[in-house]
Amino acid sequence: MKLKLLLSAVACVGIASFAIADDDKNYEIIAKVMKEGLKGKTSPLAKTINGEASDEEIKDLFELVKTMEDTKAPKGEQDAYDEKVNQLIADLEKIAGGDKGDEAIAALKKSSNCKACHSDHKPD
């Protein structure tokens, strides 16, 4: 009986630390994309939008943003978050694939809108 209790206690601690590790990892992935890909006037995203990024930089940005696929919404509805993330990935994929036309860039501008995503999904 005592052993059973002990075992379930161990199992609980195990599960709890898994959950924490997952949250940390989730945050790490999102923060890396934000800081290395999206933030600032000279970020790969900004350069992609204003036409200064090389094909290599665009491809790297696409690969980086793709790591956000399947991340958990830190706040707000998961479905709405998935939709925004997937749209951003799709728009970048198109440009990385060579379509740098006005329409493709306008779509990226919209899907990378910082405030639209942050106001719903970024914790205060």
Contacts to ligand HEC by CB under 6 A? 27, 30-31, 34-35, 38-39, 45, 74, 84-85, 88, 112-114, 117-118, 121-123
Cβ contacts of 2 within 8 Å, gap of 6 or more: none
What minimum distance in Å lies between the beta carbon of 5 and ligand HEC? 36
What minimum distance in Å lies between the beta carbon of 70 and ligand HEC? 13
Q: Measured between alpha carbons, how far is 31 from 27 in angstroms, rounded to an integer?
A: 6
Indicate the residue among 59 and 120 with the shorter CB distance to ligand HEC.
120
Indicate the residue among 58 and 85 with the shorter CB distance to ligand HEC.
85
Indicate the residue among 59 and 87 with the shorter CB distance to ligand HEC.
87
Cβ contacts of 31 within 8 Å, gap of 6 or more: none
**C-alpha distances out from residue 99 to 58, 81, 88, 106, 113, Å:** 11, 25, 15, 12, 20
